[in-house]
Amino acid sequence: MLKIQTQSEWIARAKEVLPAGGFGNFDPGIIIARGEGSHVWDQDGKEYIDYLIGSGPMLLGHGHPEVMEAVLEQLPKGMTFFANNSKGIELAEAIIEAVPCCEQVRFVASGGEADMYAMRLARAYTGRDKILKFEGGYHGMSAEAQMSLAPSRRVNFPRAVPDSAGIPRSVAEQMLIAPFNDLDAVAALLDEHDDVAAIMVEPLQRIIPPEPGFLQGLRTLCDKFGVLLIFDEIVTGFRLAYGGAQERYGVTPDICTLGKITGGGFPLAALGASTEIMKHFDKSKVGEQGWLMQLGTLSGNPIASAAGLKTMEVLRRDGTYEHLRAIGKQLQQMQSDALNEAGIAHRICGDETLFDIYFTKAECRDYRSANHDDPQRNATYNATLRAHGVFKAPGKLYPSLAVTEADLEQTREAVRHAVEAIS
């Protein structure tokens, strides 16, 4: 009989076979063994309330019974075909019904892939090369997206700074970088550069909300200068509202990307736009020169499509988003109350459905202002939360619909300990 290995043994094994001992996603010092509902367990059996939820996809919680049933029903019928299948077509129909800018969609396997194709689609449609993005905005792992995501040195706008080795210098020449929430800066760049294909933006940038009028201002500027507006809704899609940030903020982009929740916990993402823009995926309509080649082995696979369809069905039910926001509001309030009582300066930044704390007195409106006055304080706070059974990322907290009143009470107690640790 094989011995059940401890977490430390698994960590040692990981260091032998994985660079930096991990998958590149999260702290490699913890090995998650399983998840159920709002909880996960590490390899040593320690239980946590899960506010990471796979970095966002598990909005219904782990192993939601209806999603599991839909997946198990599909499994014996086939896992992937590299061909059209009815579940993928049904999911496309559901997305188009839900998301304002989508008249057609194309499926891919990851959000980063969707973002890369969205930029390429904008270039194909406009015949222009440059993309304007915002400093600190995350749009996947393509060379363009890895420009000024988390620059360690500040340079003058609109210069792009690569965040990774291995990116050709020529990529930076095709990217313009602007500060988030600054319409004047965007207007000046569009006035100066007549070769911008698109503005790409996270409507909620990481956890920084758009100021009133900012997204509508981008829409107006794009219309004025003939530039496409791309909403990266990989995170916000089906989270901020059923129709995503487009519904929540009342602004419709030209192109959007969707992921995470879209696949119900399985690898699946999509990009969508009007039929006019999406025709560039159809060679018979645009010819050889205008055609955008796109294919993927697992794109639109029936397992992920079945999980996504059932997830969307659950999310459409009455009161779902009101309940999610009520959970998020309680999580915000319990932390703010405890920190205020201790006299600790902080800002709750984000939306009730996705947020975190900055330990600062400053207003958090863009990448350069959204910082902790003392990063060690944040590290201690999060480490204490984890020690008391709260599992989250260092810079984000994802509420899920699986969170219970008992979970909230345990979180409140963990917050009390965390505030004491930094007082």
**Residues 106, 278: contact at Cβ < 8 Å?**
yes
Write the pLDDT tens digit of every residue in 176-192: 999 999 999 999 999 99
pLDDT of the residue at 152: 85
Q: Which two tokens stand for residue 27?
A: 């702290």
**Residues 344, 357: contact at Cβ < 8 Å?**
no
Sign (positive or negative) of CA dihedral 332, 336, 337, 338: positive
Residues 71-80 have a mean pLDDT of: 96
* Residue that has been written with the tokens 């902080």 in this structure: 346
pLDDT of the residue at 182: 98
Q: Pick the catalytic residue from 50, 115, 232, 254.
A: 232
Residues 160-189 have a mean pLDDT of: 96
pLDDT of the residue at 4: 72
Rounded to 5 degrees, φ, ψ at 107 are -95, 145
Average pLDDT, the chain: 97
Scored b (16 or more CB within 10 A) or e, 258-277 reads: bbbbbbbbbbbbbbbbeeeb
Residue 127 pLDDT > 70? yes
**Residues 350, 392: contact at Cβ < 8 Å?**
no
Residue 293 pLDDT > 90? yes
Write the pLDDT tens digit of every residue in 382-405: 999 999 999 999 999 999 999 999
Residue 1 pLDDT > 60? no
Domains of the chain in sequence order: 31-63+321-422 (3.90.1150.10), 65-315 (3.40.640.10)
Q: Give the closest residue to 30 by CA, choosing from 420, 394, 403.
A: 394
Rounded to 5 degrees, φ, ψ at 350 are 130, -150
Residue 2 pLDDT > 70? no
Instruction: Based on the residue annotation, tell me whether 232 is a catalytic residue of this protein.
Output: yes
Write the pLDDT tens digit of every residue in 243-285: 999 999 999 999 999 999 999 999 999 999 999 999 999 999 9
Residues 120-126 have a mean pLDDT of: 98
Q: How far apart are CA 342 and CA 373, in angstroms?
A: 17
Q: Pick the catalytic residue from 260, 279, 310, 392.
A: 260
* Residue that has been written with the tokens 């007082």 in this structure: 423
Q: What is the pTM of this model?
A: 0.96
Instruction: Based on the residue annotation, tell me whether 15 is a catalytic residue of this protein.
Output: no
Rounded to 5 degrees, φ, ψ at 331 are -65, -40
Write the pLDDT tens digit of every residue in 24-69: 999 999 999 999 999 999 999 999 999 999 999 999 999 999 999 9
Of the two residues 217 and 153, the one the predictor is more confident about is 217
Q: How far apart are CA 31 and CA 26, in angstroms?
A: 10
Q: How far apart are CA 52 and CA 74, in angstroms?
A: 27
Instruction: Based on the residue annotation, tell me whether 163 is a catalytic residue of this protein.
Output: no
Residues 122-137 have a mean pLDDT of: 98
Q: Give the closest residue to 254 by CA, choosing from 282, 223, 225, 281.
A: 223
**Residues 367, 179: contact at Cβ < 8 Å?**
yes
pLDDT of the residue at 153: 86
Q: Pick the catalytic residue from 48, 138, 249, 321.
A: 138
Residues 343-372 have a mean pLDDT of: 96
